């Protein structure tokens, strides 16, 4: 008699059973550095695909994605949705699970958090990293008219008057020597001519006097 009463007592418990969350991805309370590719929730019982649903709410409560039981899932125990790109904040996964066996309805939710990833330090900022200096081609200095020139630059850029105008030496200009010689010889020649003229005049005077003086 007692054996007959056990199934009767267990029957209401079986009827009142409902689908519960068995696992999820992301897990409840997880913190992620980026948007997950899929949000999935696994249940303990087969679900009614037409009545079960999955939602994803943004931090302000706006529903940003919806999903449900995959049509090709033979066990019909998992619901999934594909979220859009998510910004930082706490997101809520809400689910409504309707048992395929007895039509029992269960509701629930869990959350996960998206955080802004910390940027990685660059190679130059990493400790022990040695920066390679860039090799710069040597620049050709441009001479400035106001800058002091070197010995070689000064000779080329600012030629002196002696270099620009060659000095004429006496040995290199025979014409000037001839001219100087002619100028120096003119007084001597003039003196000789005058002396000859005086001598000729004196001789003429003497000869003239001799002609006029009678002989004794």
Q: Are 115 and 80 in contact (CB under 8 A)?
A: no
SS3 category, 44? coil
- pLDDT at residue 82, as a whole number: 96
Identify whether the C-beta of residue 78 lies closer than 8 Å to the C-beta of residue 43.
yes
Largest CA distance in the chain: 226
Q: What share of the chain has pLDDT > 70, as a percent?
A: 55
Predicted local confidence at residue 16, as pLDDT? 52
Per the CB < 8 A criterion, the answer to whether 83 and 35 are in contact is yes
Measured between alpha carbons, how far is 134 from 203 in angstroms, rounded to an integer? 108
- Residue 174 confidence (pLDDT) above 60: no
Q: What is the pLDDT of residues 110-146, one digit of tens each?
A: 999 999 876 666 655 555 555 555 555 555 555 554 4
Q: Looking at 53-62, 87-96, 163-172, which range is the least confident one?
A: 163-172
Higher per-residue pLDDT: 71 or 146: 71
pLDDT, residue 206, reads 73
In the structure encoding, which two tokens stand for residue 59, read together? 């931090």
Comparing 47 with 187, the larger pLDDT belongs to: 47
pLDDT tens figures, 179-189: 444 455 566 77
């Amino acid at each position: 008699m007692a054996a007959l009463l056990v199934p009767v007592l267990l029957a209401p418990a079986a009827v009142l059973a409902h689908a519960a969350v068995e696992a999820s991805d992301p897990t409840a309370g997880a913190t992620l550095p980026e948007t997950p590719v899929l949000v999935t929730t696994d249940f303990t019982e087969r679900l009614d695909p037409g009545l079960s649903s999955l939602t994803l709410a943004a931090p302000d409560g706006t529903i940003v994605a919806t999903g449900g039981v995959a049509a090709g899932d033979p066990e019909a125990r998992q619901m999934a949705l594909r979220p859009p790109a998510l910004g930082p904040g706490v997101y809520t996964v809400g689910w409504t699970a309707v048992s395929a066996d007895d039509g029992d309805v269960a509701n629930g939710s869990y959350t996960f958090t998206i955080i802004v990833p910390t940027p990685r330090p660059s190679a130059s900022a990493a400790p022990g990293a040695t920066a390679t200096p860039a090799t710069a081609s040597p620049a050709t200095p441009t001479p400035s008219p106001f800058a002091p020139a070197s010995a070689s630059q000064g000779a080329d850029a600012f030629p002196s008057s002696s270099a620009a105008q060659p000095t004429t030496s006496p040995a290199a200009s025979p014409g000037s020597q001839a001219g100087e010689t002619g100028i120096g010889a003119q007084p001597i020649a003039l003196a000789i001519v005058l002396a000859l003229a005086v001598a000729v005049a004196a001789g003429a005077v003497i000869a003239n006097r001799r002609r006029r003086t009678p002989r004794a």
